[in-house]
Amino acid sequence: MDAYRDLETHFKKLNTLGDALSVLHWDASVMMPVGGSLARSDQLATLRGISHELLTDPKVGDLIGTAENADLDPWQAANLHEIRRSYLRASAVPQKLVEALSQATSACEHSWRTAKQDADFARVQPLLQKVLDLTLEEGGILGETLDMSLYDALIDTYEPGASASAIGQIFEDYAAFLPSFLDDVLEKQKRAGEKPIPEGPFAIDKQEALARHLAETVGFDFSAGRMDVSAHPFSTGYAGDRRITVSYNPDDPILALMAALHETGHSLYEQNLPTEWSGQPVGQARGMAIHESQSLLIEMQACRTPEFVSFLAPLFREAFGEQDAFRDENLLRLYHWVEPGFIRVMADEVTYPAHVILRFRLEQALLSGDLPLADLPYAWNEGMQGLLGITPPNDRLGCLQDIHWYAGSFGYFPTYTLGAMTAAQLFAAATEAEPDILPGLAKGDFSILRDWLKRNVHGLASSVSSDEIVAHATGRRLEPKAFESHLKQRYLPK
């Protein structure tokens, strides 16, 4: 038991360093003047280096060996499991490779920023090749350590327990479902008339006030969090201090307010994690798919229901004045608008999975060597044509749009759509179990939904696997069916 307690102390310290890192990251995106960036990089690298040393300290391995014979309760055992996983992953990869990857991704990410602006993939290609080569090396080592395929080992970084084969089945089901469904949705949408266009400008301070009000409505606790402005919305923080950022556009409040609700979904999950385990690995949010499911459950499932939009539309009119686009039925149409486009982050929920499926297919081909990097732009555009029937006119709108690969994140993309599908399955189960959820949303009352989520998802933290969370909460493994049913019901109701 002593060994287990020592591990808890050690990982509490690691977690505390992670908390400090999250504040430094937030500050760099939200507060820091440009002059601070070089020294800030040093601060982040130094803290990361110290964390890595602490995590890979050989004494941790010894303690784990001893602790495995201790008499642990289920949460302690799950905590030890998470500790073991972190230690194995971190100590498997040689320090030299960690540093080489850090340098390569930093250089590649830097070059990507201007290459993207200039739509010039060739410029960043050699740097991306370096990142890819090193990622293959890392993935190979991790795969051997964890006894899984290279790609599964990379996915495991973001979503422990997920596998390419299981994801592939789910995604191909959706890829088969999409084409005719999309045609039908677009045809029906066309018949219903033009897209309502909000007429701006919309004062930023009013958008911000409404965003804060909505976050509070969902349940965000401002005594244990903040909401600020940054170039791209994100959420971060630590126990007791969760931070959301939003990016406002004076011409369009539609995106910003849903983005605020999306980040609120993430933060609500974090705010509801069990405080008694907040410093331990088992007390952290489960992988990225579950995390994304919580943001999408709020943003896409709950907050685009006719019930919630009937609560939201009057708030729009109050904040920005009466206009046609903010009539209940028009705001609902706006929030249900489907339109195939080039950019993933702008996509509606129907076409979004196509963007992810494309990346899922391509990153596997890149990692297996089937797709040489030089052919990526072509393969990307061909894939877009196949999935959504559109071809990007340049690589800025194509394979240069997302930072992930250029920052070394291979295996991340699938979690977005796993999250969307998990959200649909969870929300269906929640509203079936608690018939008062939907009438509550019409009054801006999220309490029943929140309680259900806390009981079935948030409060479990990492004590069980993602699969188990979904299975316990919904009675079934994750399937594409619930998501497809949700889309049919929302976009093509009988």
Closest by CA position to 400, among listed 117, 11, 203: 117
Binding window for a copy of itself (CB under 8 A); candidates: 222-230, 248-256, 352-360, 437-445: 222-230
Any idea which residue has 């509606």 for tokens? Answer: 348
Name which of 264 and 465 has its Cβ closer to a copy of itself.
264
223 part of the interface to a copy of itself, by CB under 8 A: yes
43 part of the interface to a copy of itself, by CB under 8 A: yes
Spatial neighbors of 287 by CB under 8 A, at least 6 apart, are 158, 159, 160, 161, 162, 415, 466
Extract the tokens encoding 51.
Answer: 């964390």
CB of 282 to a copy of itself, least distance (A): 17
Give the Cα separation of 420 and 487 in Å (integer). 11
How many amino acids of this chain bind a copy of itself (CB under 8 A)?
36
The correct pick among 42, 73, 276, 322 for binding a copy of itself (CB under 8 A) is 42
Strand partners of residue 151: none
Extract the tokens encoding 445.
Answer: 């009352």
Sign for the pseudo-dihedral over CA of 179, 180, 181, 185: positive
Alpha helices in 404-479 (DSSP H): 414-433, 437-441, 447-456, 466-474
Binding window for a copy of itself (CB under 8 A); candidates: 121-129, 198-206, 232-240, 371-379: 232-240
Is residue 422 within 8 Å of 286, Cβ to Cβ? no
Binding window for a copy of itself (CB under 8 A); candidates: 157-165, 178-186, 219-227, 376-384: 219-227
Is residue 319 within 8 Å of 163, Cβ to Cβ? no
Give the Cα separation of 52 and 444 in Å (integer). 44
The correct pick among 143, 225, 383, 440 for binding a copy of itself (CB under 8 A) is 225
Name which of 40 and 130 has its Cβ closer to a copy of itself.
40
Name which of 16 and 368 has its Cβ closer to a copy of itself.
16
Residue type, 36: G
Name which of 225 and 480 has its Cβ closer to a copy of itself.
225
State which of positions 275-304 bind a copy of itself (CB under 8 A): 278-279
Phi and psi at residue 238, to the nearest 5°: -150, 175
Lateral strand order in the sheet of 234-238: 225-229, 241-246, 234-238
102 part of the interface to a copy of itself, by CB under 8 A: no
Binding window for a copy of itself (CB under 8 A); candidates: 26-34, 124-132, 170-178, 367-375: 26-34
69 part of the interface to a copy of itself, by CB under 8 A: no
35 part of the interface to a copy of itself, by CB under 8 A: yes
CB of 44 to a copy of itself, least distance (A): 8
State which of positions 234-273 bind a copy of itself (CB under 8 A): 237-241
Name which of 180 and 223 has its Cβ closer to a copy of itself.
223
Strand partners of residue 236: 243
- Tell me how many degrees the CA angle 187-332-181 measures, rounded to the nearest 5: 30
Please check if 404 is assigned to a binding site. Answer: no
CB of 268 to a copy of itself, least distance (A): 14
Give the Cα separation of 67 and 448 in Å (integer). 40
Name which of 198 and 237 has its Cβ closer to a copy of itself.
237
222 part of the interface to a copy of itself, by CB under 8 A: yes
Please check if 292 is assigned to a binding site. Answer: yes
Give the Cα separation of 57 and 366 in Å (integer). 34
31 part of the interface to a copy of itself, by CB under 8 A: yes
The correct pick among 8, 11, 19, 246 for binding a copy of itself (CB under 8 A) is 19
The correct pick among 57, 172, 221, 375 for binding a copy of itself (CB under 8 A) is 221
Extract the tokens encoding 173.
Answer: 């089901």
Name which of 13 and 206 has its Cβ closer to a copy of itself.
13
CB of 223 to a copy of itself, least distance (A): 5
For the chain, the C-alpha Rg in angstroms (whole number) is 23
Q: What does the chain come to in residues?
A: 494
Binding window for a copy of itself (CB under 8 A); candidates: 14-22, 356-364, 401-409, 450-458: 14-22
Q: Are strands 241-246 and 234-238 parallel, antiparallel or unpaired?
A: antiparallel
Q: Which residues participate in catalysis according to the annotation?
A: 263
The 3-state DSSP composition of the chain as helix, strand, coil percent (nearest 5) reads 70, 5, 25
Spatial neighbors of 357 by CB under 8 A, at least 6 apart, are 171, 174, 175, 387, 417
Distances (CA, A) of 332 to 304, 309, 313: 7, 6, 8
13 part of the interface to a copy of itself, by CB under 8 A: yes
CB of 224 to a copy of itself, least distance (A): 3
Extract the tokens encoding 441.
Answer: 């949303």
CB of 425 to a copy of itself, least distance (A): 32
Binding-site annotation, residues: 262, 266, 292
Residues lying near a copy of itself in the complex (CB under 8 A) are found at 13, 16-17, 19-20, 23-24, 27, 31-40, 42-43, 46-47, 50, 221-226, 237-241, 278-279
- Provide the annotated binding site for Zn(2+): 262, 266, 292
